[in-house]
Amino acid sequence: MNKAERTRKFIIEKSASIINRKGMAGTSLSDIMEATKLAKGGIYGNFESKDEICVASFLYLTEKLADQLNRAVLRGGTAKEKFLNLLDAYTEIQNTEGGCPILNFGVESDDTHPNMKEYVKKAIRSSQKRFFDIISDGIAHHEISATVNPKNFSIKVFAMIEGAILFRRVLESDEQMRIIHEAIKLEFESYLI
């Protein structure tokens, strides 16, 4: 990695949690300069715009999240273990970087940042696919009943988890996350063969 690549990486790592917490519109160049201790020229010598930093930050945060979730799935041998590990990973994540980047960037970009909205769409689909793959594989290996629709169930589970993440942050309580976790777990277990 050359010096320019290291500087870009440094700017992204220092900016990501600020942008995730304060939002794209709420984060100023001054915030980024303060976090990185770089001058304006040092920032814009590596990025064309604040929007480019926002996109890079989103990709950085979602990659970290995906890595954590994928590791949880890989610890499982059966569809049941993989699903429950993934579900637990979502509920155990204490995101110190300002909450779920998919939720935060998604809310802000839906009407105002069409480019970012496309990145968020990909992240949502990828997250839903993680559940879809586990369910589909479980059906194929006769671990899960073929009566469950993998696509519909995956969409529902992901939406419930994201809602619970929002409630956890706004209400500053894990109660609703625990309720959602248990409801998803009970429904999933009802499909096991």
For the chain, list the domains and their CATH numbers: 58-190 (1.10.357.10)
What token pair was written down for 7? 């500087």
| Confidence bin at 96 (pLDDT 50/70/90) | low
Residues of the chain above pLDDT 90, percent: 86
Give me the amino acid identity at 142: H
Distant-in-sequence contacts of 167-173, Cβ < 8 A, 24+ apart = 169/99
What local confidence, expressed as pLDDT, does residue 159 receive? 97
pLDDT band at 164 (very low <50, low <70, confident <90, very high): very high
pLDDT at 98: 76
Residue 46 has pLDDT above 90, yes or no: yes
Distance CA 169, CA 151 (A): 27
Diameter of the chain by CA atoms?
Answer: 61
The pLDDT of residue 131: 98
3-state secondary structure of 167: helix
Token output for 185: 């777990």
pTM exceeds 0.85, yes or no: yes
